[in-house]
Structure 1
Amino acid sequence: MRAALALALIAGAQASAQTAAPAPAPAGGIERGRALVADRTQSLCLLCHALTAQGDPNQGNLAPPLALSAARLTRDGLLERIADMRRFNPATVMPPFRSTDGLRDVAPAWAGRPALTEQQLDDIVAYLGSLATP
């Protein structure tokens, strides 16, 4: 009788484990974000931005330094601007990394696809947040 009860409990636990929701995506990773910001083929951040106000000859100077932006904006503020800066400045040259609306001259391989995934956006925001802390 006890063996049957134990088997029933084990079977129930296995069934519930199989139907459980998948684990949530990991929170933003600072190291993954650092790699994405530095990647000139994917995020393109350093083509226009420098990391710090001191600048770097191998980084951009067209847009505000990333550390300064991170220091003045909340996590959500950073995320919204990276996702689609057009919401704040319709004339911006910054690409909308989450949105696919209103884009022109998109390569067929990227048509209808955002430039970055939600995880990548979270990773970049985590990294930028680390720049804002002393």
Structure 2
Amino acid sequence: MRALLALALAASAQAGDVERGRALLADRTQSLCLLCHALTAAGDPNQGNLAPPLDAAAARLSRQDLRERIADMRRFNATTVMPPFRSTEGLRDVAPAWQGRPALTEQQLDDLVAYLTTLTPP
């Protein structure tokens, strides 16, 4: 099933919109990225410090790699605490309104990736 997800992700990868991605990343009610990640290695007291800073993500990972990790990081690390933003498999304690629905749409995923690829480490 995960191989099918990877193929679907690759087939649907689009350029995305940088500005929508920036807004989505900053929106703590939707993407939740900044709860665990900081934008830069310098950090920010209003951003997370549990996961790697996001400014280096594009330097380390291709657009497709970023997309696949956001979609379902469990493919790369079975014990990750990062939510699978495009998968509904194997989840527990999901609110009734979200059961069977991924946290992000394909377009939102494309937009986040578009924004992340603009970030560069200092």
Shorter-chain TM-score: which interval? Answer: 0.7 to 0.9
Number of the residue aligned with 1:114: 102
Number of the residue aligned with 1:124: 112
Consecutive unaligned residues in structure 1, runs of 5 or more: 1-25
Residues of 2 paired with 1:118 and 1:99: CA distance? 11
How far off its partner does 1:39 sit?
0.5
Number of the residue aligned with 1:22: none
Number of the residue aligned with 1:65: 53
Greater relative contact order (CA < 8 Å, ≥ 6 in sequence): 2
- TM-score normalised to structure 1 length: 0.78
Larger gyration radius, structure 1 or structure 2: 1
Count of matched residue pairs: 111
Number of the residue aligned with 2:81: 93
Residues of 2 paired with 1:123 and 1:132: CA distance? 17
Q: Which has the higher helix share?
A: 1
How far off its partner does 1:67 sit?
1.1
> Is residue 62 of structure 2 the alignment partner of residue 74 of structure 1?
yes
CA shift digits 1:93-123 (9 cap, x unpaired): 1000000000001001000000000000000
How far off its partner does 1:29 sit?
0.4
Among the aligned pairs, what percent are the same residue? 81
How far off its partner does 1:132 sit?
3.0
> Is residue 86 of structure 2 the alignment partner of residue 83 of structure 1?
no
Instruction: Give RMSD over aligned pairs.
Output: 1.9
Are the aligned partners of 2:55 and 2:121 in contact in 1 as well (CA < 8 Å)?
Answer: no
Q: 1:119 to 1:49 in 2, by over 3 A?
A: same
> Is residue 26 of structure 2 the alignment partner of residue 45 of structure 1?
no
CA shift digits 1:9-30 (9 cap, x unpaired): xxxxxxxxxxxxxxxxx73000
> Is residue 14 of structure 2 the alignment partner of residue 33 of structure 1?
no
Amino acid at match of 1:84: D
How far off its partner does 1:69 sit?
1.6
